[in-house]
Amino acid sequence: MAVTTINICLFCGIVDFKFVGEFHQSNMEDTRDRISQLPEPILHHILSFLLVKDAVRMSTLSKIWTSALNSLSYLDFGEDFFYGPQDMRNLLKAVTQILVIRLKHKISVEKFWLRLPYLRRRFYYVHRWIKLLVACNVKEFDLSVGRRIYEGKQLHNKLPEVIFDAKALNVLNLVGFKIELPSHGTINLSSLRELHLRDVILDEKFIQALCVSCHNLEFLYLAWFKGLASFQVGEKNLPKLKKIKLENCPSEFQMVDIAAISLEDLTIKSYWDLKFVKITACKALKSLFLNGVAVTDKWLEKLFFSLQNLEKFYLSCCNTLTTMKISSIWLKQLIVFGCSNLVDAQVYTPNLILFAFGCCSLPTLKLKASRSLKANISFDSLETPDSDWYNSNLTNFLGSFNHSLSIKLSSKKDEVCPANSLATLLQQDSRVIDFS
Predicted local confidence at residue 62, as pLDDT: 77
In this model, does residue 98 exceed pLDDT 50? yes
Q: Which of 55-69, 263-277, 292-306 has the lowest mean pLDDT?
A: 55-69
Q: Which of 206-210, 287-291, 292-296, 397-401 has the lowest mean pLDDT?
A: 397-401
Mean pLDDT, residues 66-80: 82
In this model, does residue 255 exceed pLDDT 90? yes
In this model, does residue 333 exceed pLDDT 50? yes
In this model, does residue 307 exceed pLDDT 90? yes
pLDDT tens figures, 156-189: 999 999 999 999 999 999 999 999 999 989 999 9
Query: Are residues 300 and 324 in contact, defined by beta-carbon separation less than 8 angstroms?
Result: yes
- Higher-confidence residue: 265 or 34? 265
For the chain, give the percent of residues with pLDDT over 90.
57
Q: Which of 48-62, 299-313, 321-335 has the lowest mean pLDDT?
A: 48-62
- Higher-confidence residue: 362 or 264? 264
State the chain's mean pLDDT as an integer.
Answer: 84
Q: Which of 18-22, 76-80, 195-199, 342-346 has the lowest mean pLDDT?
A: 18-22
Predicted local confidence at residue 22, as pLDDT: 45
Mean pLDDT, residues 123-133: 96
The total of other beta-carbon atoms located within 10 Å of residue 399's CB is: 12
List Cβ neighbours of 37 (8 Å cut-off, separation of 6 or more): 64
378: phi then psi, degrees, rounded to nearest 5: -130, 140
Give the separation between CA 125 and CA 118, rounded to whole angstroms. Answer: 12
Q: Which of 162-176, 248-262, 366-380, 404-418 has the lowest mean pLDDT?
A: 404-418
pLDDT tens figures, 378-414: 877 655 665 566 656 777 888 888 888 888 888 766 6
Predicted local confidence at residue 381, as pLDDT: 65
* Nearest by Cα to 144 from 199, 181, 92: 199
Q: What is the pTM of this model?
A: 0.84
- Higher-confidence residue: 295 or 33? 295
* Nearest by Cα to 378 from 343, 409, 344: 409
Q: What is the 3-state secondary structure (H, E, C) of the chain?
A: CHHHHHHHHHHHCCCCHHHHHHHHHCCCHHHHCCHHHCCHHHHHHHHCCCCHHHHHHHHCCCHHHHHHHHCCCEEECCCCCCCCHHHHHHHHHHHHHHHHHHHHCCCCCCEEEEEECCCHHHCHHHHHHHHHHHHCCCCEEEEEECCEEECCEEECEECCHHHHHCCCCCEEEEECEECCCCCCCCCCCCCCCEEEEECCECCHHHHHHHHHHCCCCCEEEEECCECCCEEEECCCCCCCCCEEEEEEECCCCCEEEECCCCCCEEEEEEEEEECEEECCCCCCCCEEEEEEECCCHHHHHHHHHHCCCCCEEEEECCCCCCEEEEECCCCCEEEEECCCCCCEEEEECCCCCEEEEEECCCCEEEEECCCCCEEEEEECCCCCCCHHHHHHHHHHHHHHHCCCCEEEEEECCCCCCCHHHHHHHHCCCCCCEEEC
Alpha-carbon dihedral angle through residues 385, 389, 394, 399, given to the nearest 10 degrees: 160
Give the separation between CA 388 and CA 275, rounded to whole angstroms. Answer: 38
